[in-house]
Structure 1
């Protein structure tokens, strides 16, 4: 009985000790799990804070751009202009709109000194105005002219002074005024019936003496030609007058002018740099400042007077584009480079080994070269070792590869020529190449560039170059804070 109690006590103690061990083990597991969890949590917090407070890498999109080297000048437009004067006082009626090209002998205007002609054409004029307001029968030429004026203002409003807004308004109003105050009759016989009396007497009727473009604007430069041009003309002030604003005219007052549309000229003072650039040229390309329009003209003459130089350019196109202008601001383009525009701060340099393209080989779809190494076990004490390489650039007969622990200056490469003979090439030096860090894949990858032109802040690099920068790559804006293969935040 006593032994029985002792055994029960021993069993009870063993059971209690076993339970304590299990609890101790559970506590150990719980503590270890908490520690691991805490470590993971702390690491995640560190990563988040590090990402939040670390400096972000700014990038620039590789987009098309251009660098144009040019100088701005102020030019005077010289045209072959023939003025037609009124022979009597009266009311002027016009039958051709501003800027329209006419043939020799075309009916342009008539003067009504007694009211007969005005009364006869009033009905037709009212019909024309009604058509204009209803937008049913608007002249195609006038409609296009007004449309072009509006389009020109919208496209180029940012490149012209604020005062151009008012000027554009006046131009558009003038176009509408011209359209409604010129009798646009397609039926020549109807026009002849209206003017039958005047035509019979052949008086007060004005025809085009030659073919050309009709204009009703006068500024005092109409008699200026390339033969009587003097440098002082460039300093004169333009006072423009539009005869359509006032329909009444007087004897010996300009009625309209015919502009020769075959050729026109642009005279300007240039500097020594421009003169030197043009001295061996026959043509020059100019860029019009206010609408960014590029036109090419012949160099008609270069004049040297005292210490100044003047140029006269000849053009045979775009007369109507500048019919309203007498002075024109333009730039002469010395050079123009187009490609990918990259900030100068994005550009860095990296040293490369230059090796012959013939030394490149393929092994398991990877490029490699055969490097000569010293080996005691090899015949002759030398053997060849295949070294995997990454090609960064191929130009002409040379390939550019990065330095590595296995390949550098002084190493010798062996390759087989077409005739079966072995050729040995010793790497003598490193060649620095300009490039940028492309971060498309989340790390800084070096891509080389070929610079076409540059300024203080930007460079234009060649587009579509193998192993180089491509259009719309993301390029690190500041290359100085990065290293190759660095992970980008």
Structure 2
């Protein structure tokens, strides 16, 4: 009987319940998938942050220094020793040097001061001398090595100068009969070197002098023997001095209308403004720079390395690779709607259709605005608001600009270029329709179009 029993069992499907967690997960998954897909297929743009900066256009030169110099010679033969330091200012009747028939013996004080290391200023001077020598070294002018040796020796000897001066002064007080004291005839800056260029003037300077051809300087040191009539020191008697340069034709042409020029001294990075005069002698262009200050800083130098600052412009600094050219229609500003958001398109009927149009540049001088040539067809007729006047789009102008991507998509911004270097432009800041400090722009403007979404 049990095998013949009928079973009456009904199977019901489970009731479906909405799962909010799965739904949210699905939305996130779709979003991530779309983002990855857009990233893989989209236009990848490197970003550059606009910052304020400057560009200096300068050219490096080595110039010959001319000064009002007087060479003083020895009245008698003997060993010379000096009272003042080189480069110091001496007055008339100031003790300058003494002559003795024999070398003077100076006692070392043995103090810590005499044996201490060079000061920062002395180290900087030695470094500058060696760097200048290295930059201009010519194997055909080996005498420059000895000139460097003499300069460095002079700096090193200055460590014991105070002790030497004190002992010389004591010898004078003691009335040593060996000492013959000589005073300065006039005031000036005292130097202990000669080079034969002391009498050179702006009229007699030559190309070979500027290029250091056959240049040789003699450096006078303490306790060295000199003959009567030999130079013992020289005085620079005026703060007015000149730097003479050789210019190429292009630079001479660029500067010919200038009466002054800014310069930078490589020795200490000091800057100055010099009076400028350019003269043509034969095939060479001579630039004469005249200064009336800072002479004492470079009194011991016959040659000086400088940079002519031909241009010094500040503004917003952007890479050249960011800048592109784009065409725009020029339209009288009267055809822009009163709210400034678009123009009226004349379709031939009594009414006109409004179309949004962004202004990319405004020429206030000529009363023209610039509209994107890609957003409007050539020949499109615009109608002036509250008027029957019309204007057909035809005339185009080209603007240089960059793509601003602050909002995640490309927006053209025109730039006014002030100056340039090999890799960067300096552009005007603070103008309408242009860039601002800290804007983000595309590092390379090529291949990007208006309103492109960038990653």
In 2, distance between residues paired with 1:405 and 1:134? 77
Matched, 1:390 2:366: no
Contact 2:66 2:201 in 1 (8 A): yes
Partner of 1:223: 199
Q: Report 1:252-401 matches (<5 A).
A: 252=228, 253-288=230-265, 293-300=270-277, 302-305=279-282, 307-357=283-333, 360=336, 363=339, 367-369=340-342, 371=344, 373=346, 382-383=350-351, 387-396=355-364, 397-401=367-371
Secondary structure at the aligned position of 2:240 is classed as: strand
Give the TM-score normalised by the residue count of structure 1.
0.70
In 2, distance between residues paired with 1:444 and 1:169? 63
Give the TM-score normalised by the residue count of structure 2.
0.75
Secondary structure at the aligned position of 1:77 is classed as: strand
Partner of 1:485: 451
The offset of 1:371, in angstroms, is 2.1
In 1, distance between residues paired with 2:28 and 2:438? 39
Alpha-carbon distance change, 109 to 277 in structure 1, aligned in 2, over 3 angstroms: same
Partner of 1:419: none
Alpha-carbon distance change, 111 to 183 in structure 1, aligned in 2, over 3 angstroms: farther
The offset of 1:219, in angstroms, is 3.1
The offset of 1:347, in angstroms, is 1.4
Contact 2:401 2:414 in 1 (8 A): yes
Partner of 1:180: 160
The offset of 1:436, in angstroms, is 0.7
The match for 2:439 among 473, 480, 484 is 473
Partner of 2:225: 249
Partner of 2:141: none
The offset of 1:430, in angstroms, is 3.4
Higher helix share: 1
Deviations 1:212-246 (A, max 9, x none): 222223334233333443334335233344323x5
Secondary structure at the aligned position of 1:209 is classed as: coil
Q: Report 1:28-427 matches (<5 A).
A: 41=29, 44=32, 47-48=35-36, 51=39, 56-68=44-56, 71-113=59-101, 126=109, 130-131=112-113, 145-146=121-122, 149=125, 161=135, 174-182=154-162, 194-196=171-173, 204-235=180-211, 236-244=213-221, 247-252=223-228, 253-288=230-265, 293-300=270-277, 302-305=279-282, 307-357=283-333, 360=336, 363=339, 367-369=340-342, 371=344, 373=346, 382-383=350-351, 387-396=355-364, 397-402=367-372, 409-415=379-385, 424=389, 426-427=391-392
Alpha-carbon distance change, 41 to 354 in structure 1, aligned in 2, over 3 angstroms: same
In 2, distance between residues paired with 1:281 and 1:213? 32
CA RMSD of aligned residues (A): 4.8
In 1, distance between residues paired with 2:414 and 2:258? 36
Structure 1 range deviating more: 91-100 or 169-178: 169-178
Alpha-carbon distance change, 134 to 454 in structure 1, aligned in 2, over 3 angstroms: closer
Partner of 1:433: 399
Alpha-carbon distance change, 255 to 53 in structure 1, aligned in 2, over 3 angstroms: farther
The offset of 1:263, in angstroms, is 1.6
Q: Name stretches of at least 5 consecutive residues in structure 2 with no aligned partner.
A: 138-144
